[in-house]
Amino acid sequence: MEVALAGKTNSGKSSFFKAATMIDVEISNRPFVTIKPNEGVAYLTTECVEKEFGIKCKPKTGFCKNGTRFVPIKLWDIAGLVPGAHEGRGLGLQFLDDIRQASVLLHIVDFSGMTDSEGMPTENHNPEDDIQFVENEINLWFVDVIKRNLEKIKKLPPGKAELMDVLQQQLSGLGVTKEQISQTLDKYAISDVESFAKGLRQISKPILTVANKMDLKKSQENFEKLSQKHPNIVPASAESEIALKKAGEKKLINYTSGNGFEIVGELDDIKRNALEMIKREVIDKYGSTGVQNVLNKAVFEILNYIIVYPVADASKLTDKDGNYLPDAFLVPNGTTMKEFAFRVHTQLGEKFITGIDARTKLRLSADYKLKNRDVVSIVFGK
Ligand SMILES: Nc1nc2c(ncn2[C@@H]2O[C@H](COP(=O)(O)OP(=O)(O)OP(=O)(O)O)[C@@H](O)[C@H]2O)c(=O)[nH]1
Ligand SMILES: [Mg+2]
């Protein structure tokens, strides 16, 4: 699962990246600090099934802390956008190429209104302008790529299947799947390039808007105004999350991402004041710093993915080496038992006989649609 950060320069993308991955990247209050994309591992959180089964899991990837399972995803921090990026302004085209692999975009918006659309200091900039211009730039990029590639083709085939083949080949640069092209063709004719491009962008790179810098008063005012009109904006403070994670690592506070915190260590006045500010301005108002919430929402709600635990032994809930619940797979809601077998291992798919539900020990047929938190084993032929 690949997730990319998008947004104008100076909105806090690298700060969000650092908050989510704790990888040190350059963060600075000037435009175009990030030039080359940064790649890191972030984690989704979900309530682990270990408690329900009364065992202690041993994850092969990610980890489990106090019953919360941390499932790894890949996160990309990339160069910022300015208006006209799709025509090559700023670091535009480079940015757009870097989001190709992403399944979902987190649009990091500076809600404080203290940077203009070029990333320069200002006052009272309307964050709503950024929400629109960034989405518009990405849409226009799709339009341009599709137009350019269609010009190369003399005559488009009339049948949908042939058309899909041609489009998949031509649009590989956008990182779109055949299924996504098919869904878009059901809604828009290819002759209406603008609508088709926008539709394909929405399906292949949905955007979750993040109201960043919520520790600032101005951001809070803007959020109150805009969240009524745009109900899906998620409030966040990347800077607060970095501070809390650092304090957690130093054992100054007890902190699990996505929650509040409690002070447990000896603090000087400066640190105490900073943490109290975060509690007062961010945690008490929004429940958390929002960073974990953003990641979870993007994958579990926008993309509608679920978590499924494959085990080799459905009674013991272990792999062949005796590790409890070693894997937690992210799959799209609607994935069937047999598709899942292929996902775990091609050979398991090819030699699939049946699935077994570890809770009920009942057989799960090839076309059984998996549910979130299912624990399953796969029986296969020799
Ligand atoms: N108050 C506050 N400031 C923040 C927050 N997140 C980022 N900033 C500040 O915003 C400025 C820009 O942050 P970056 O993370 O470098 O922004 P960017 O989007 O990666 O910028 P480019 O790489 O230039 O596109 C820095 O001064 C950060 O400290 C936040 O949650 N709260
Ligand atoms: Mg950056």
Q: How far is CA 270 from the centre of its chain?
A: 34
Q: State yes or no: pLDDT of 95 exceeds 80.
A: no
Q: What's the pLDDT score for residue 207?
A: 97
From the CA of 10, give the closest atom in ligand 1: 21
Q: What's the pLDDT score for residue 172?
A: 86
Residue 333 in tokens: 């809601």
Q: Which of 26-40, 71-85, 314-328 has the highest mean pLDDT?
A: 314-328
Average pLDDT of 198-210?
97
The ligand that comes nearest to the alpha carbon of residue 15 is 1
Mean pLDDT of the chain: 94
Q: Please list, residue by residue across 244-279, b when 16 or more beta carbons sit within 10 angstroms of its beta carbon and e when fewer do.
A: bbebbeeebbebbbbbbbebeeebeeebeeebeebb
What CATH class does 301-380 carry?
alpha beta
Q: What's the pLDDT score for residue 215?
A: 98
Q: Over the stretch 242-272, which tens digit does the pLDDT of each residue have? A: 999 999 999 999 999 999 999 999 999 999 9
The model's confidence at residue 89, banded by pLDDT at 50, 70 and 90, is: confident
Q: What's the pLDDT score for residue 52?
A: 96
Q: What's the pLDDT score for residue 374?
A: 98
Q: How far is the CA of 96 from the centre of ligand 2 (A)?
A: 15
Q: What's the pLDDT score for residue 92?
A: 61
Q: How far is the CA of 7 from the centre of ligand 2 (A)?
A: 10
- Nearest CA-CA partner of 75 in 96, 46, 104, 118: 104
Average pLDDT of 181-205?
96
Average pLDDT of 275-295?
98
Q: What's the pLDDT score for residue 332?
A: 97
The ligand that comes nearest to the alpha carbon of residue 215 is 1
- Nearest CA-CA partner of 171 in 159, 192, 153: 153
Burial class (CB in 10 A: 0-12, 13-18, 19+), 379: middle
Q: Over the stretch 128-159, which tens digit does the pLDDT of each residue have? A: 999 999 999 999 989 988 998 898 887 888 88
The model's confidence at residue 173, banded by pLDDT at 50, 70 and 90, is: confident
- Nearest CA-CA partner of 197 in 233, 173, 165: 173
- Nearest CA-CA partner of 42 in 99, 7, 3: 3
Q: What's the pLDDT score for residue 341?
A: 98
Burial class (CB in 10 A: 0-12, 13-18, 19+), 154: exposed
Domain with CATH 1.10.8.470 in the chain: 2-210
Distance CA 307, CA 270 (A): 41
Q: Over the stretch 177-189, which tens digit does the pLDDT of each residue have? A: 999 999 999 999 9
Q: How far is the CA of 47 from the centre of ligand 1 (A)?
A: 31
Q: What's the pLDDT score for residue 49?
A: 98
Q: What's the pLDDT score for residue 70?
A: 96
Domain with CATH 3.10.20.30 in the chain: 301-380
From the CA of 80, give the closest atom in ligand 1: 25
Distance CA 284, CA 280 (A): 5
Q: State yes or no: pLDDT of 343 exceeds 70.
A: yes
The number of CA neighbours under 13 Å toward the Cβ of 318 is 7
Q: Please state which of the four CATH numbers 1.10.8.470, 3.40.50.261, 3.90.79.10, 3.90.440.10 is assigned to the domain occupying 2-210.
A: 1.10.8.470
